[in-house]
Structure 1
Amino acid sequence: MLWDESVVEKPESIRSEGLCAVRSSKAKRLKRIKPGFFNPPGGRPVHVPGFEWIGLLLAGRKTHPMVAFFRWYTTRGEHAQDRLTLQTNLLTKAVEVFGRTLWHVFDRGYAGKRWLGELIGQAVPFVVR
């Protein structure tokens, strides 16, 4: 089970329901040092309105990769969700559906104390790459 998260930026939308502040990858790309410029723009990261998502991809040698679970979420407004709570719910659901023998693969973003404690508590095999 491959875990992935990202955001969808909606910089022109400020009144759409459920938008939260997400770090803009486009602004980060535009702030890179350009050849011939000695004082690149710096400062804090740029945040724009958008949505966050988390997806779990089931992959193996005997099956085609498929999306097992996918959730959109926001951190603001009446539909706000805590990221760790959502991850814990998805982990519990994955264990219910696929059992505890399935390996879970994570990026470095999942290498926090609270999340690793949750994985060890659920007794699932995992790899953080």
Structure 2
Amino acid sequence: MDASKMINLDNNSAIKLEYDATHDILFGYCPDFTDMNMTEANMAFQEVVKTLLQHNITKVLIDSRMSYMDVSTHKHKAVLEMFALNLYSTKLKKFARIMTENEDRESSVLQVVDEANIPFAFRNFRDIPTAVEWLKSQSNS
């Protein structure tokens, strides 16, 4: 993303969020998932939803590559299910996610996406430029 167009949002939040107003894309980094910070992970995703609602943002890009996961798949999935449910209240149209190398984690994400019947387009990507191009495009597939 072009750093000159990015606006940092609420530096005191549980997650670093930047907004590209030109393309209506909210960018954030996935929080870590450990037994010690499950509350913080939930708060981070609540912050994403709050920001989407406050600014009527329709596109989001979450980079999961650098986040750490040291919890059961069940706990991870529970956090993702709550996040997906909360996204229903937003005007979100497209959700791009930068994937990790963890197969269990990726399987958990895809299962939540399949089961949640989300009302927006969702795609996983391996790199940010490809994800941004999809978010900017008119296509949802």
Per the shorter chain, which TM-score range? 0.3 to 0.5
| Structure possessing the higher radius of gyration over alpha carbons | 1
Structure number with greater CO (CA < 8 Å, separation at least 6) is 1
TM-score (norm 2): 0.36
TM-score (norm 1): 0.38
| More helix as a share of residues | 2
